[in-house]
Chains A and B, each alone.
Chain A
Amino acid sequence: MKGVHDMGGMECFGELELSDTDVHFHHDWEKRVLALCLAMGASGPWNLDKSRSARESLPPSYYLSAGYFRIWFAALENLLLEFSLVSTDELATGTVIDESAKLSVLKASAVPAALLAGSPVERTMPDKPLYQVGERVKVSRTVSKLHTRCPDYVRGCVGVVHLVHGGHVYPDSHAQMQGENPQWLYNIQFNADELWGESRSQAGTVHVDLWQPYLENMEAQ
C-alpha cells in the first residue's frame, strides 16, 4: 500500500530540525517505550514486519503528528490487543483482569545474547535468482494493498541490478503472519532522472533493496 509512512520524494515537510542532534531521548518514557517494544518483540508472537505494519496502520494524522515513540507505543498497544495478550479493559484500568497468555519472557540475563544473535533473515533458496547483476529490471506497479517494502517512488521505474543479496524473508507475507516465504532480494540502482524527471543538483543514483516479486522482467515488456 501507499501510506503516509512512505515518504520518499515528498517535499512538503520543510527543513530538518538539527538543534540537538546527539539527543536520542527527550523524555524518560521514550526509553521505556523503546525497551518495552524490544522486550515484547522478543517474547510476543508477532515479528518485526508485523510491528512495522502496525505502526503504518495508525491513522495518518496521528502518524504525522504524534512523534516517533508515541507511534511505537500506540502500535504496541494495538499489537497487544490484536494478539489478545491484553484486553481493552486491562489497558484502560492498568490492572490484570483476564488470564495471561503463555509467553517466553525475555530475562535481563538473556538480553546481551538476544541482542548479539539478532534476527538474521537470510534463507537458503531452492532456486536460482531470476535476475543477474547488471540486468535491467522494471519495478511492478502492482504491489500489496497491505504492508510492503516497495516504496512508491520506484514503482514503474527501470533500474539495474547492483547486488544480489540472497534469499530474504518476504515482508509482504511475514507482516500478515503467513510465514517467512523467503524471496530473492536485490539491490537495484536507479538514475535520479528516471525517478524524478529532471534530477536535482548532484543527484546521481538511488539504490533500493527490492524483493523479486516486486520486479518485472524487461524481456516480457
Chain B
Amino acid sequence: MTQQNTPDNDATNLADPNTDQSRQGSASQQLPREHHQHHHEHHHDHSHLDDTALRVRSLETLLTQKGYIEPEALNVLIDTYENKVGPRNGAKVIAKAWTNDRYRQWLLSDATAAIASLDFSGRQGEHMVVVENTAQVHNMVVCTLCSCYPWPVLGLPPTWYKSAPYRSRVVIDPASVLAEFGVTLEPHKKITVWDSTAEVRYLVLPERPANSEHLTEEQLAALVTRDAMIGTGLPLDSSLVSL
C-alpha cells in the first residue's frame, strides 16, 4: 500500500506542521545522534516518514536482541487498545448512571470503585473522578501538559485531544473549542474545565437526553458518544436509537 500521508499531512502533528526548516531544527544535543544524521542524509519528500518507520523497526529488533522486549507482548498491547478497550466501556458506565440513581451516586462519590464494578480498571484509570453536567454547568476535560486520558473507559485519546490547539485553548476559551465541534450550549450555561495534571483521570457524565425515558440501558449506551464523555460533544438525540 502506498503511503498517502506525506509527513506534512501527518495528523499526529501537535501543531500545524512546519517546513523542513523546522525539522532541521531538531538537531540538538538532546536528541540521539541518529536524528540529525538521518535528517541530513535524505532530502526527498518522504524522508521523515520513511526514516521513522525504518528506525522504529530497527529499534524493535535491537531491543528484542538485547533481551529487553518480547515482540509478541507488543502485539498484545496493540490489540488491546485497537480492538478491546474503547469508549463503549465508558458508555456503559454512563448509561448505568442514567438508569440507576444509586449507581450514579456511587459514581460521583467513588468513581474508581464504581467503574471497577463494571470490570473497567487499570492503566491510566487508576484514580477516576466523574464530573456531572447539569442544567447550569457543562464540563470539559483536557490535559494541557501532555495527553492524560482515561484509557480503561475511553481507550486511547483521539489525535485532536493530544494536539496543541486543543491543549492550549480549552482552558482559556472553551466555548470557541466547542464551536469547532459544532456544539453550542444554552447561553446561561457555564463551562467547567478539568485539567488532568496528576494521575487522576476525569470522565464527564452528560445530561440524559430528553425523551429517553422509554429506552433501555443498552439503548441509552448507544447514545453516549466518546466526545460526550470528554465534554467536546453531547449525547445523541434519543430519536436516533434503532428500536
Binding site for B on A (CB under 8 A): 5-36, 38-40, 43-44, 48, 52, 55, 57-59, 61-71, 73-74, 76-78, 80-81, 85-86, 88, 90-92, 94-96, 100-101, 103, 105-108, 110-112, 114-122, 149-151, 153, 163, 165, 168-169, 171, 185, 187, 192, 195-196, 200-211
The answer to whether the Cβ of B18 comes within 8 Å of any Cβ in the partner chain is: yes
What residues of B have a CB within 8 angstroms of the CB of A7 in the complex? 144-145, 164, 167-168
Nearest 6 CB-CB pairings of A with B? A204-B190, A8-B144, A61-B25, A209-B198, A35-B74, A94-B58
What residues of B have a CB within 8 angstroms of the CB of A103 in the complex? 67-68
A–B pairs, 13, beta carbons within 8 Å:
A10-B169, A11-B169, A14-B165, A18-B160, A20-B159, A27-B5, A32-B74, A44-B68, A67-B12, A110-B73, A117-B123, A202-B189, A203-B190
- Please report the C-alpha to C-alpha distance between residue A106 and residue B64 in the assembled complex, in whole angstroms: 11
A36-B63, A61-B22 known; A27 vs B73 contact (CB < 8 Å) = no
- Please report the C-alpha to C-alpha distance between residue A114 and residue B191 in the assembled complex, in whole angstroms: 36
The answer to whether the Cβ of B75 comes within 8 Å of any Cβ in the partner chain is: yes
Query: Nearest CB to that of B22 among chain A residues?
Result: A65
Are B59 and A91 in contact (CB-based, < 8 A)?
yes
Are A151 and B195 in contact (CB-based, < 8 A)?
yes
Our pick among A19, A70, A201 for the contact of B52 (Cβ within 8 Å) is A70
- Please report the C-alpha to C-alpha distance between residue A16 and residue B181 in the assembled complex, in whole angstroms: 9
Chain A contact residues: over half helix, strand or loop, or mixed? mixed
Are B30 and A57 in contact (CB-based, < 8 A)?
yes
The answer to whether the Cβ of B88 comes within 8 Å of any Cβ in the partner chain is: no
**Would you give the shortest CB distance from B40 to chain A, in whole angstroms?**
14
Our pick among B25, B34, B74 for the contact of A62 (Cβ within 8 Å) is B25
Are B200 and A205 in contact (CB-based, < 8 A)?
no
- Please report the C-alpha to C-alpha distance between residue A121 and residue B220 in the assembled complex, in whole angstroms: 34
**Would you give the shortest CB distance from B52 to chain A, in whole angstroms?**
6
What residues of B have a CB within 8 angstroms of the CB of A61 in the complex? 22, 25-26
Are B53 and A200 in contact (CB-based, < 8 A)?
no
Digitize B108-151: 1 where CB-to-A-CB distance is under 8 Å, 0 elsewhere: 00000000000001111111010000000100001011110000
What residues of B have a CB within 8 angstroms of the CB of A200 in the complex? 172-176
Are A69 and B12 in contact (CB-based, < 8 A)?
yes
What residues of B have a CB within 8 angstroms of the CB of A209 in the complex? 195-198, 200
**Would you give the shortest CB distance from B209 to chain A, in whole angstroms?**
21
What residues of B have a CB within 8 angstroms of the CB of A108 in the complex? 70, 72-73, 75-76
The answer to whether the Cβ of B213 comes within 8 Å of any Cβ in the partner chain is: no
A16-B166, A74-B35 known; A115 vs B67 contact (CB < 8 Å) = no
What residues of A have a CB within 8 angstroms of the CB of B146 in the complex? 5, 52, 55
The answer to whether the Cβ of B44 comes within 8 Å of any Cβ in the partner chain is: no
Q: Interface size of B by Cβ–Cβ distance < 8 Å?
A: 103
- Please report the C-alpha to C-alpha distance between residue A203 and residue B200 in the assembled complex, in whole angstroms: 22
Query: Nearest CB to that of A6 among chain B residues?
Result: B145
The answer to whether the Cβ of B33 comes within 8 Å of any Cβ in the partner chain is: yes
A8-B195, A13-B15 known; A32 vs B124 contact (CB < 8 Å) = no
Binding site for A on B (CB under 8 A): 3, 5, 10-18, 22-23, 25-28, 30-35, 37, 49, 52-53, 55-63, 65-70, 72-78, 80-82, 121-127, 129, 137, 142, 144-147, 155-156, 158-160, 162-169, 171-177, 180-181, 185, 187, 189-200, 227
Are A168 and B198 in contact (CB-based, < 8 A)?
yes
Residue among B146, B187, B194 with the highest chain A CB neighbour number at 10 A: B146
What residues of B have a CB within 8 angstroms of the CB of A29 in the complex? 52-53, 56-57
- Please report the C-alpha to C-alpha distance between residue A121 and residue B201 in the assembled complex, in whole angstroms: 12
Residue among A24, A55, A88, A163 with the highest chain B CB neighbour number at 10 A: A24
A55-B146, A116-B122, A120-B126 known; A202 vs B191 contact (CB < 8 Å) = yes
Are B180 and A15 in contact (CB-based, < 8 A)?
yes
Are A21 and B160 in contact (CB-based, < 8 A)?
yes
**Would you give the shortest CB distance from A56 to chain B, in whole angstroms?**
8
Are A115 and B53 in contact (CB-based, < 8 A)?
no
A24-B158, A59-B25, A196-B172 known; A8 vs B68 contact (CB < 8 Å) = no
Are A34 and B77 in contact (CB-based, < 8 A)?
yes
Are A203 and B59 in contact (CB-based, < 8 A)?
no
